[in-house]
Amino acid sequence: MTGKRHARKAIGLVAIASAAVLALSACAGGGATSGPAALSDEPVTLRFTWWGNDVRTANTEAVIAAFEAEHPNITIEPQYADWNGYWDKLATETAANDSPDIIQMDEKYISTYGGRGALLDLNDTGDLLDLSDFSKSSLDLGTAEGALYGIPVGLTTYAVMVNPTVLESAGVTLPDDKSWTWDDLEKAGAAVSAAGAGNVFGVQSWGFEEGGLNNWARQHDDALYNDAGDVVIKADTLTSWWEYMLELSESGVSPAASATTERQNAGLAESFLATNSAGFATGWASQLTALQDASGSPLELLQIPTSADAASDSAYFKPSMYWSVSARTAHPAEAAVFLDYLVNSEEAATLLGTDRGVPANDAIRSYLEPTLPESGKSVVAFLDSLTDVVGEAPPLTPAGGSAIEAIVKRYTEQVLFKQATPAEAAQGFIRDLKAAIAAG
């Protein structure tokens, strides 16, 4: 074996590897577009990606067909995946400078992508995209550092969902959610658990995503992040949150830890609430329809309880998801036209329904409301009833903060399984979240 041949081979490998590495760096960097772009008469193809199940796929493809009929020179190529696969694929495509033009975006990721130059500032699209029917507060939900990285598609809020049938058979009256406290929830839950004899529980455990935590923090005059995106939540706030959860679990108001984890992993349709084995559950209001379909019995929405000394305005609206445009799209104008159609057209609204949440567009929401099924109407009514109560939305999840859901879940499990005390969990949570944001 000659050393020369070895060397030549090695050089070849290194050359290819460096080409790949160069490609890694070439594809990143700021967006290339500037100023409002003009529409083209030539055929244009846009790639459009979303996550969701078969129902969403069907209604989204119907919207695409309707749009293409109106705009014969624009072809929309759909691309869909399940939640986990969606983010893996989007990250890889973005790394290769090959991301789709129109992207369904989530609050946990919008700063990550937007702040790193992967998303177009939609303020730059001129009058091709009409946002006049959106309230300023809802557009603020998609704005970071002055740039509009996403249009909120639907609005939702964190709420308590209640199964009146379960309450009734336990002899518990529906609490008045205008004034109720966490103690009231615990008492009502205890009564349901007592009547449920181990099969039906009062309150389904939560703490597996950041919504409940955000609310709790706001009630305690605290917040997860400040406007600069630093983690500022106090350990005491977290400790009290987990202490309350642990108390419910230990007193039997909530199911045992292993049952909780099992149902949690199984998804919405198998949750205690969806299987009529819990009186109360916390969650995003937009999930009411899915939960109600699964449980087969009517559910109602209640405001989150507070504590006596809680800060007011703790409730807030969160976008269920956003429409974003890739910063590297070759056709920003056509992308804007498509977004305009998605958010403003009544035809699109009819086809899409509230699958992606109650529309954030005020005009479309009033247009759609009469056509909605009962569960949809009650979500709209609930959101409307909150308009006077909600406070300003919390700062967006900072870049790298998308790991928060996994972190919350992990520490909740540790607390419920008594591997960590609430205080230890609070310390660990802050440490891990800070590290995640620094690393990502």
The yes or no reply on residue 95 touching other proteins (CB under 8 A) is yes
Stretch that binds other proteins, among 80-88, 136-144, 308-316, 384-392 (CB under 8 A): 80-88
Out of 71, 345, 353, 417, the only residue in the binding site for other proteins (CB under 8 A) is 417
Out of 7, 32, 73, 82, the only residue in the binding site for other proteins (CB under 8 A) is 82
Stretch that binds other proteins, among 162-170, 192-200, 245-253, 287-295 (CB under 8 A): 287-295
Tokens of 179: 């004034």
Residue 408, burial from CB neighbour count under 10 angstroms (0-12, 13-18, 19+): buried
The yes or no reply on residue 198 touching other proteins (CB under 8 A) is no
The yes or no reply on residue 205 touching other proteins (CB under 8 A) is no
Helix axes 182-196, 235-250, angle to 10 degrees: 20
Q: DSSP assignment of 360-390, as one string?
A: SSHHHHHHHGGGS-HHHHHHHHHHHHHTTT-
Out of 171, 373, 391, 440, the only residue in the binding site for other proteins (CB under 8 A) is 440
User: What is the closest distance, in whole angstroms, from the C-beta atom of residue 435 to other proteins in the complex?
Assistant: 9
Closest CA to 149 of 114, 124, 102: 114
Q: Which amino acid is at 434?
A: K
The residue count for binding other proteins (CB under 8 A) is: 88
Out of 7, 28, 174, 381, the only residue in the binding site for other proteins (CB under 8 A) is 28
Closest CA to 356 of 120, 144, 117, 57: 57
Out of 39, 66, 91, 311, the only residue in the binding site for other proteins (CB under 8 A) is 91
Nearest to other proteins of 5, 136 (CB atom): 5
Binding to other proteins in span 308-367, by CB under 8 A: 355
Nearest to other proteins of 48, 280 (CB atom): 48
Provide the strand spans (E) within 264-399.
278-284, 300-302, 317-325, 358-359
Give 83's DSSP letter.
H
Nearest to other proteins of 90, 188 (CB atom): 90
d(Cα 333, Cα 143) in Å, to the nearest integer?
20
Stretch that binds other proteins, among 56-64, 186-194, 232-240, 358-366 (CB under 8 A): 56-64
Tokens of 341: 């159609």
Closest CA to 210 of 55, 411, 353, 349: 411
d(Cα 119, Cα 148) in Å, to the nearest integer?
9
Closest CA to 217 of 204, 199, 236: 236
The yes or no reply on residue 55 touching other proteins (CB under 8 A) is yes
The yes or no reply on residue 75 touching other proteins (CB under 8 A) is no
Q: DSSP assignment of 133-145, as one string?
A: TS-HHHHHTTEET
User: What is the closest distance, in whole angstroms, from the C-beta atom of residue 312 to other proteins in the complex?
Assistant: 30
Widest pairwise Cα distance in the chain: 88
User: What is the closest distance, in whole angstroms, from the C-beta atom of residue 264 to other proteins in the complex?
Assistant: 8
Out of 70, 98, 183, 362, the only residue in the binding site for other proteins (CB under 8 A) is 98
User: What is the closest distance, in whole angstroms, from the C-beta atom of residue 259 to other proteins in the complex?
Assistant: 6
Binding string, residues 7-26; x marks residues near other proteins by CB under 8 A: --x--xxx-xx-xxx-xxx-
Binding to other proteins in span 245-284, by CB under 8 A: 256-262, 265-270, 275
